[in-house]
Amino acid sequence: MSVLVVAEHVRGELRPVTLELVSAARDLGGPVAVAVVAGDPSALVEAVDVEGVDEILTVAVEPDAFETDVVQAAVEALIAEREPDAVLLGFTVDSMGYGPALAAKLGLGFASDVFALRREDGGVVAERSFYGAKVNAEVEFPGHERVVLLVRPTSWAPSAGGGGATVTEVAAPAVQSRARHRDWVEVEAGDVDITTADFLLSVGRGIGDKENLEQFEELAERMGATLSSSRPLVDAGWMPNARQVGQSGKTVKPKVYLALGISGAVQHLAGMKTSGTIVAVNSDPEAAIFNVAHYGAVADLFDVAEELEKLF
Ligand SMILES: Cc1cc2nc3c(=O)[nH]c(=O)nc-3n(C[C@H](O)[C@H](O)[C@H](O)COP(=O)(O)OP(=O)(O)OC[C@H]3O[C@@H](n4cnc5c(N)ncnc54)[C@H](O)[C@@H]3O)c2cc1C
C-alpha cells in the first residue's frame, strides 16, 4: 500500500496543486513518494520535501517544459518499479494530457476531478461529481489493484513543514515525445489573472443590470480588490471569461472572497469554497453561499456597497 504523487511545475516553479496532492495522499495512508520529472529535478526537491512525504523520486528529462509522452513514460516506469496502489495527479491541463492514457494503457482504475478520498476494505474510494456537478458520487474500482486519480485543485489544504524525505534518482526512460513545447504565451494583456489575486470582490446576478457593474468596478478599485463574477454575468457578456469563478471558470483561493448577490450554486462553490475568508451578502437567508461563508450578511447588496463606499 503506497501512493505516488506526480509533482507539477512550470518554468522552474512548483505548482501549488502538488502540495495539495501530498495532503490527499496522506488521507489514503501508506508511504508517500513524490515524483519530480523535470530538466533539473534537484532544484524542486526542497519545495516538495514537506510533511507526509517519505521519498522524493527525481527523474531528469529533456526538456524541462512539460511534454506529454516524456512525463507519461517516466510515470509508467515509476509505477512498474514502485508498484504504488494509487497514483495522484492534478486535475490540470498537463495531467489531463497523459493521466487517462496512462490508466488505459496499463489497465488501471481511473477517476478525474476527485475531491475526496478514502480507503475502504483495502480499496480506494474516490468522490467526484457528475451531471454538471449536480450529483456527487462515490467511485469504487472493483478488480483494480491500482488506480490513477486526477485530483481537483484546492480540494485539500497544501501540506507544509516537515522535510527530511529520502531522495532517490531514477533514470528517465528513452522516449521521443510526439508533443513539442514551442513557447510560453502570457495571459492576455488588458485583463487580470484572478487566480493570483489576494482579494476578490465577486458579483453575481443580484446586481441586476449591466449598468450597475460600473459601481462595483469602482468599489473593487477603492477597496484594493480584483473584480470577478459568477457565470451568468459572463454569459450575458457583461464580464470577460477570464473573470468567471467556478467549475467552468477559474478556481480561486484568495485570502478574502467577498460575494455580492451570488446564490452559491455548486458550480460556483466548486471554484471558490476553499478561499481563506468568505464574506457573503445576499438578501435571501436561505442562499447556499451562506453554507460556505465565514461571515454573512442578509442584506441588500446595494446598501452594503453604499456603506463600503463610505469606508474606502
Ligand atoms: C455545467 C455547468 C457549469 C457551470 N459553471 C459555472 C461556473 O463556473 N460559475 C458559476 O458561477 N456558475 C456556473 N454555472 C451556473 C450555476 O449553476 C448558477 O446558475 C450560477 O452560479 C448562478 O449565478 P448567480 O449566483 O450570480 O445567480 P443567481 O443564482 O440568480 O443568484 C443571484 C442571487 O442574488 C441574490 N440577490 C438578488 N438581488 C439581491 C440584492 N439586491 N441584494 C442581495 N442579494 C441579492 C439572490 O437572492 C440570489 O441568491 C454552471 C452551470 C452548469 C450547468
Taking only the tens place, the pLDDT of each residue in 29-40 is 999 999 999 999
Nearest CA to ligand 1 atom 48: 263
* pTM for this predicted structure: 0.72
**pLDDT over threshold 80, residue 88:** yes
228 lines ligand 1 (CB under 6 A): no
84 lines ligand 1 (CB under 6 A): no
Across 113-130, average pLDDT: 92
259 lines ligand 1 (CB under 6 A): no
The per-residue pLDDT for 234 is 95
**pLDDT over threshold 80, residue 54:** yes
Q: How many CB atoms lie within 10 A of CB 154?
A: 21
Residue 106 to residue 112: CA distance in whole angstroms = 16
Nearest CA to ligand 1 atom 1: 132
Question: How many angstroms does the Cα of residue 75 sit away from the middle of ligand 1?
Answer: 40
**pLDDT over threshold 70, residue 188:** no
| pLDDT tens digit sequence for 261-309 | 999 998 899 899 989 999 999 999 999 999 999 999 999 999 999 999 9
Same fold, 3-170 and 194-311: yes
Task: Please report where in the chains the cell 472572497 appears, as a residue.
Answer: 257
What CATH number matches the domain at 3-170, 3.40.640.10, 3.90.180.10, 3.60.110.10, 3.40.50.620? 3.40.50.620
The per-residue pLDDT for 141 is 97
Q: Please, what is the average pLDDT of the chain?
A: 94
pLDDT band at residue 187 under the 50/70/90 scheme: low
Pocket test for ligand 1, best of 251, 262, 272 (most atoms within 8 A of CB): 262
The per-residue pLDDT for 189 is 53
Question: How many angstroms does the Cα of residue 233 sit away from the middle of ligand 1?
Answer: 9
C-alpha cell at 204: 453575481
Question: How many angstroms does the Cα of residue 31 sit away from the middle of ligand 1?
Answer: 42
230 lines ligand 1 (CB under 6 A): yes
List of residues 6+ apart from 213 with CB closer than 8 A? 203, 207, 233, 238, 239
207 lines ligand 1 (CB under 6 A): no
Nearest CA to ligand 1 atom 50: 267
What CATH number matches the domain at 194-311, 3.40.50.1220, 3.10.180.10, 3.40.50.1980, 3.30.70.100? 3.40.50.1220
User: Which segment of 98-112, 130-144, 195-209, 277-291 scores lowest on mean pLDDT?
Assistant: 130-144
The per-residue pLDDT for 67 is 93
Q: At what angle do helices 68-82 and 99-106 cross, to 10 degrees?
A: 40
The per-residue pLDDT for 254 is 96
Going from N- to C-terminal start, the domains of the chain cover 3-170, 194-311
